[in-house]
């Protein structure tokens, strides 16, 4: 088995890459970007002799074009391994065909607009959270909600403010070093 190794160093950072196949120029260029932190774009001019790449920009579907979607609903268990479930390219969610819950559309591969080996452009396998929604039922919204009583510390209070409150309430916080640990000691009403 042939292995290919590429190693680059820049300003004290050294990165090595080993593959069981020949690395492409694009992969080596990405290694260069990683080492140097440079965001240069890869521009390869067509000399007429090169073969088209697997994922050229022209292969990306147009916005709104129907593309195959793999659905695995975490709510009702609906799964679809057929290519008849499609969604317009560029959309962020799809409703489950069985339970109608909103599911987030994540890219099926690491690259936008490139299908996976089964021909799916998106995978819908987790709940969609709308940023504009006023629904605060999830745990993170509750965790970072402002307290109604300004005298009681919340996630936006500093550690000294939280410790001061705990001291005034006579609550022992020995062993609690992190803000979250201190906040957990405050009794909820």
Of the ranges 23-32, 75-84, 156-165, which is most confident?
A: 156-165
One-character DSSP codes across the chain? ---EEEEEEETTEEEEEEESSPPPHHHHHHHHHHHH-----------SSSPPPTT-GGGSPPTT-EEEEEEE-TTT--EE-STT-EEETT-SEEE-TTT--EEEEEESSSSTT---TTS-SEEEEEE---TT-----SHHHHHTPPPSSTTS--TTS-HHHHHHHHHHHT---TT--SHHHHHHTSPP-
State pTM to two decimals: 0.44
What is the arithmetic mean of pLDDT over 158-164? 92
pLDDT at 43: 60
pLDDT band, very low/low/confident/very high, at 28 (cuts 50, 70, 90) = confident
pLDDT at 99: 93
Q: What average pLDDT is seen over the chain? A: 81
pLDDT band, very low/low/confident/very high, at 55 (cuts 50, 70, 90) = very low
């Amino acid at each position: 088995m042939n292995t290919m190794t590429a190693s680059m160093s820049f300003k004290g950072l050294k990165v090595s890459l080993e593959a069981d196949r020949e690395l492409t120029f694009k992969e080596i260029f990405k290694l260069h970007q990683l080492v140097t932190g440079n965001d240069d774009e890869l521009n390869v001019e067509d000399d007429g002799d090169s073969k088209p790449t697997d994922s050229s920009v022209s292969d990306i579907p147009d916005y709104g074009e129907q593309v195959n979607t793999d659905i695995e609903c975490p709510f009702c268990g609906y799964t679809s391994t057929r290519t008849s479930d499609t969604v317009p390219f560029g959309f962020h969610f799809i409703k489950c065909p069985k339970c109608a819950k909103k599911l987030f559309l994540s890219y099926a591969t690491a690259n936008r607009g490139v299908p996976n080996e089964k021909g799916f452009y998106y995978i819908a396998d987790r709940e969609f959270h709308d940023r504009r929604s006023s629904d605060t039922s999830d745990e993170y919204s509750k965790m970072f909600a402002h307290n109604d009583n300004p005298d009681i510390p919340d996630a936006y209070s500093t550690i000294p403010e939280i410790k001061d409150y705990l001291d005034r309430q006579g609550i022992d916080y020995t062993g609690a070093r992190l803000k979250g640990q201190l906040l957990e000691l405050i009794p909820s009403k």
